[in-house]
A and B are shown apart, each in its own frame.
Chain A
């Protein structure tokens, strides 16, 4: 590829549909060649943000720089941004070959050059043998790959994927996910992937942005977002989280967290003030003996999940989800029994509120 890798810089982007603001003060810096994900629930603005990078929808305020060039006021066809649509959007009146060749024709590429490039793109997605089919003769997975070939054949500066896997069935989704990543690595294209599925984002993205209500909540690697969420939304949206409200108290070098129910847990770090402690189900063990770092509780419910057993434990403050690894021969706790939850406070995260 002769294309130079480009980054995307978004500064203070605002966008409204009529009266309702759907994007508020979005700032993003996506590195050249990065596989970046927008993750959020439906209505969070993630698709709107992606579409405004492609040039669809109302013109936003703020700037979107692709490779340093502000594209906010450019129509979609002048942006050289490749987009793969959720519905694939293959044109039903054109053969696979004509679909893939469309963008090259629009760019006035000589026809002698179009054929080999279309062939190469089809080769890339492994569907050379389907070149003369019509889109309605293809399976969902094949349509997906053709849509991808159609987009990358024009060598866009940026590849945008709008929920590209949501129309595939579960088994195919995992396979396509890996193929997408492999293709992205091969082409080295700066890529943005929109999804509401955290597993998809976690497994593919170099970094991701979590959006809610049109605001970027946090940006980081999947691991950073999971391990150190900056707010309760991110904590709850990524994985399962138990959240206890309360206060961080400092007493000399000793720090502790006092829950609103009055229980106290020792902390290794933290700043004094109101906050919440975020505990993942695997951050706790069920033990019989009370200690400084335990909370008393009663087992309400038990679910066997194969590799682990999930307990719902009522503590004085709230109901906690606790996962314990399952080993052959281990006894399970019975519902109704009184236990203590040992909290690995060094794995816990304090979120200020």
Chain B
């Protein structure tokens, strides 16, 4: 055998002998950390701070003032919008809870054959952007929708499910209840059987046991889900806009900026309120959750004890699950029907069926779809690159300030799309596109960057989880065999993270593809518009609804396929690594 040792002859090179303090060993990673920090500050922090700053500026003199806020609360439309947004968010949490609670209870407490259905209920709504389903919901639940027409015919009653704010509440709670369902079921499942048995052993039972033991243990999960629903609904722009409910905060911000212009202070005041509420809700749920990691399942132990349902209970359970399933699928059913409908108006079902809508959609939407693929593609690629880099820097290095990269990237969660959009308009309208004299604010690249920032927290979570799965010893083994840091990252870390990275990419891509709230602010011409904006445009005219629905179906397929693929990758990855950490 010949000797392949890298330094059996000659000893260490000059570079090796230099002290590490003069030439830090991982300068490549330092450079990456610096670039990411600059990107995050430039594309997230500065635009948001700018928006907040402008909210406190006198539009005429440029002096600091609280006058804008006084004006805001003096205007009855804004006061009404504020309370409407608050009311809609709170009611959405209530309705979503009413939907999620029985489902969570049935799956975690009983041996129920329909649990698979409940599990799929946990993600079916999420694969449809709420604004896409909103129009279809009107055709089913609206004043002249399928349900009311049928009820009028049979019983002579008409229930205003979709009137004004009710419509927003219904659409949002059907879309967002999975957040509560998933969080609540997880925390219920994480309660060890012994917790309950210990209480029974000490004489507690029935409702009292539930109230004193099970419910408090499950509370943190519920709060986490509920806070998320509240913020999402509070910030959402697309759904109220498509339902033509304009007296809420996000639509008001959009309308002020798009109709009056970026110098109107009201848009900024509203943005400030949106950000403040987001941060406040996140902070409040953090406070409630602090020190309450109630995951009590022991190794080998199961969750709460389950019992079989009696016949009557079984019928009731299936009825509840069936009803919710129908409700949850109604946007999907409505959208599909609408996309194949000739005319659907004042009738329980469309007059006839055709594929004409798809042809019209395809002829008019090629540009939208192409733009979507480009924007979401750029956003998702950047997200996983930055996400992987941040995850590695935070978990594996001692670089100063590394945690703040994580916080910065995650802070994007608290920034509503409308606010980010307004911030970009404000910051980039005064900066020209390189080598041209057109403002950057109207450049399509800005849309892709906004999407990148919006989806970064999700990609970062996926990458962090993937890296945490890679045992440090696997890297050290490579290094002790002569692989440098960069070679180790390339040949060991990235391949082992690939499943998580791909899952992060797909999730980012799929959700960025249907993002409306930030893009609607930033689209400057129809030729730059992505798919979500296309759906919005189609839905503005009654004749365009069919084609809009067809484009909506395309969006649902993209997100659904994306969700499915990322699940597949995560599962495959788990199986692949199952033996690695298990000994």
A residues neighboring B (CB under 8 Å): 1-3, 54-56, 59, 69, 73-83, 85-93, 102-104, 106-107, 109, 113, 117, 120, 135-136, 140, 143, 147, 150-151, 154-157, 160, 167
Say yes or no: A117 contacts B1, CB within 8 Å: yes
Contacts of B474 in A (CB 8 A): 89, 91
Contacts of B7 in A (CB 8 A): 78, 80
Q: Which residue of A lies closest to B17 (CB)?
A: A73
- Does B12 sit within 8 A of A, measured CB to CB? yes
Say yes or no: A151 contacts B473, CB within 8 Å: no
Say yes or no: B576 contacts A79, CB within 8 Å: no
Say yes or no: B4 contacts A77, CB within 8 Å: no
Which one, B44-52, B194-202, B204-212, B477-485, is touching chain A?
B477-485
What 6 additional pairs, Cβ within 8 angstroms, besides A102-B478, A140-B583? A77-B480, A77-B487, A85-B477, A107-B6, A136-B579, A136-B580
Contacts of A113 in B (CB 8 A): 2
- Does B60 sit within 8 A of A, measured CB to CB? no
Contacts of A79 in B (CB 8 A): 480
Cα A78 to Cα B13 in complex, Å, equals 10
- Does B492 sit within 8 A of A, measured CB to CB? yes
Q: Which residue of A lies closest to B480 (CB)?
A: A83
Known: A2-B2, A86-B473. A73 touches B485 (CB 8 A): no
Contacts of B63 in A (CB 8 A): none
Cα A160 to Cα B481 in complex, Å, equals 12
Q: Which residue of A lies closest to B473 (CB)?
A: A89
- Does B578 sit within 8 A of A, measured CB to CB? yes
Interface residues of B in 1-44 (CB under 8 A from A): 1-8, 11-12, 16-17, 19-20, 25
Say yes or no: B1 contacts A93, CB within 8 Å: no
Known: A82-B481, A103-B481, A106-B487. A91 touches B492 (CB 8 A): yes
Instruction: Looking at the assembled complex, report how far the CB atom of A229 sits from the nearest CB atom of chain B, in whole angstroms.
Output: 34
Say yes or no: A85 contacts B576, CB within 8 Å: no
B4, B8, B11, B579: the one contacting A104 at CB < 8 Å is B4
- List 6 A-B pairs, Cβ < 8 Å: A85-B473, A89-B473, A89-B476, A91-B477, A143-B583, A155-B4
Contacts of A151 in B (CB 8 A): 480-481
Q: Which residue of B lies closest to A54 (CB)?
A: B480
Say yes or no: A87 contacts B471, CB within 8 Å: yes
B484, B577, B581: the one contacting A75 at CB < 8 Å is B484
Name the 7 nearest CB pairs between A and B, nearest first: A103-B481, A136-B579, A89-B473, A89-B477, A76-B479, A83-B480, A106-B482
> Chain B contact residues: over half helix, strand or loop, or mixed?
loop
A77, A86, A93, A156: the one contacting B479 at CB < 8 Å is A77
Contacts of A143 in B (CB 8 A): 583
Cα A54 to Cα B496 in complex, Å, equals 23
Contacts of A103 in B (CB 8 A): 481-483
A78, A87, A102: the one contacting B473 at CB < 8 Å is A87
Instruction: Looking at the assembled complex, report how far the CB atom of A109 sits from the nearest CB atom of chain B, in whole angstroms.
Output: 5
Interface residues of B in 466-499 (CB under 8 A from A): 471, 473-474, 476-485, 487-488, 491-492, 495-496, 498
Task: Give the number of A-B contacts (CB < 8 Å).
Answer: 132
Contacts of A3 in B (CB 8 A): 3, 5, 8
Q: Which residue of B lies closest to A107 (CB)?
A: B4
Cα A160 to Cα B577 in complex, Å, equals 26
Say yes or no: A77 contacts B482, CB within 8 Å: yes
Cα A150 to Cα B484 in complex, Å, equals 17
Contacts of B16 in A (CB 8 A): 73-74, 78
Contacts of B1 in A (CB 8 A): 1-2, 117, 120, 155
A75, A93, A109: the one contacting B495 at CB < 8 Å is A93
Say yes or no: A92 contacts B482, CB within 8 Å: no
Known: A73-B19, A155-B1. A91 touches B480 (CB 8 A): no
Cα A2 to Cα B2 in complex, Å, equals 7
Say yes or no: A93 contacts B496, CB within 8 Å: yes
B residues neighboring A (CB under 8 Å): 1-8, 11-12, 16-17, 19-20, 25, 471, 473-474, 476-485, 487-488, 491-492, 495-496, 498, 576-581, 583
Contacts of A150 in B (CB 8 A): 477, 481
Query: Which of A77, A85, A154 has its CB near the most chain B CB atoms (within 10 A)?
Result: A77
Query: Which of A80, A82, A156 has its CB near the most chain B CB atoms (within 10 A)?
Result: A80
Say yes or no: B12 contacts A74, CB within 8 Å: yes
Known: A80-B6, A85-B476. A75 touches B12 (CB 8 A): no
Instruction: Looking at the assembled complex, report how far the CB atom of A70 sits from the nearest CB atom of chain B, in whole angstroms.
Output: 9
A73, A91, A102, A155: the one contacting B5 at CB < 8 Å is A155
Say yes or no: A2 contacts B3, CB within 8 Å: yes
Contacts of B479 in A (CB 8 A): 55-56, 75-77
Say yes or no: B578 contacts A136, CB within 8 Å: yes
Say yes or no: B5 contacts A107, CB within 8 Å: yes
Contacts of A83 in B (CB 8 A): 476-477, 480
Q: Which residue of A lies closest to B496 (CB)?
A: A93
Cα A294 to Cα B483 in complex, Å, equals 64
Cα A148 to Cα B4 in complex, Å, equals 18
Cα A155 to Cα B3 in complex, Å, equals 7
Contacts of A156 in B (CB 8 A): 5
Cα A150 to Cα B491 in complex, Å, equals 16
Say yes or no: B483 contacts A69, CB within 8 Å: no
Cα A107 to Cα B473 in complex, Å, equals 20
Say yes or no: B482 contacts A157, CB within 8 Å: no
Q: Which residue of B lies closest to A69 (CB)?
A: B11
Contacts of A106 in B (CB 8 A): 478, 481-483, 487
Cα A86 to Cα B580 in complex, Å, equals 12
Cα A103 to Cα B20 in complex, Å, equals 24
Instruction: Looking at the assembled complex, report how far the CB atom of B299 sits from the nearest CB atom of chain A, in whole angstroms.
Output: 17
Contacts of B478 in A (CB 8 A): 91, 102, 106
Q: Which residue of B lies closest to A104 (CB)?
A: B4
Say yes or no: A135 contacts B579, CB within 8 Å: yes
Say yes or no: B576 contacts A92, CB within 8 Å: yes
Cα A245 to Cα B476 in complex, Å, equals 46
Say yes or no: A54 contacts B5, CB within 8 Å: no
Contacts of B583 in A (CB 8 A): 87-88, 140, 143, 167
Contacts of B481 in A (CB 8 A): 77, 82, 102-103, 106, 150-151, 154
Cα A213 to Cα B476 in complex, Å, equals 25
Cα A257 to Cα B581 in complex, Å, equals 54
Query: Which of B1, B16, B20 has its CB near the most chain A CB atoms (within 10 A)?
Result: B1
Cα A324 to Cα B114 in complex, Å, equals 68
Instruction: Looking at the assembled complex, report how far the CB atom of A190 sits from the nearest CB atom of chain B, in whole angstroms.
Output: 14
Contacts of B6 in A (CB 8 A): 78, 80, 107
Cα A135 to Cα B582 in complex, Å, equals 12
Contacts of B19 in A (CB 8 A): 73
Contacts of A80 in B (CB 8 A): 5-8, 482
Cα A76 to Cα B579 in complex, Å, equals 26
Contacts of B578 in A (CB 8 A): 136
Instruction: Looking at the assembled complex, report how far the CB atom of A186 sits from the nearest CB atom of chain B, in whole angstroms.
Output: 14
Cα A79 to Cα B577 in complex, Å, equals 29
Q: Which residue of A lies closest to B20 (CB)?
A: A73
Q: Which residue of B lies closest to A79 (CB)?
A: B480
Cα A54 to Cα B475 in complex, Å, equals 13
Query: Which of B7, B16, B477, B485 has its CB near the most chain A CB atoms (within 10 A)?
Result: B477
Instruction: Looking at the assembled complex, report how far the CB atom of B161 sits from the nearest CB atom of chain A, in whole angstroms.
Output: 52
Contacts of A88 in B (CB 8 A): 583
Cα A304 to Cα B3 in complex, Å, equals 56
Contacts of B576 in A (CB 8 A): 92-93, 136
Query: Which of B19, B481, B483, B492 has its CB near the most chain A CB atoms (within 10 A)?
Result: B481
Contacts of A75 in B (CB 8 A): 25, 479, 484-485
Cα A285 to Cα B471 in complex, Å, equals 53
Q: Which residue of A lies closest to B25 (CB)?
A: A75
Instruction: Looking at the assembled complex, report how far the CB atom of A330 sits from the nearest CB atom of chain B, in whole angstroms.
Output: 46
Known: A83-B480, A91-B492, A151-B481. A59 touches B3 (CB 8 A): no
Cα A109 to Cα B11 in complex, Å, equals 19
Q: Which residue of B lies closest to A157 (CB)?
A: B5
Contacts of B488 in A (CB 8 A): 77
Cα A274 to Cα B110 in complex, Å, equals 71
Cα A107 to Cα B477 in complex, Å, equals 14
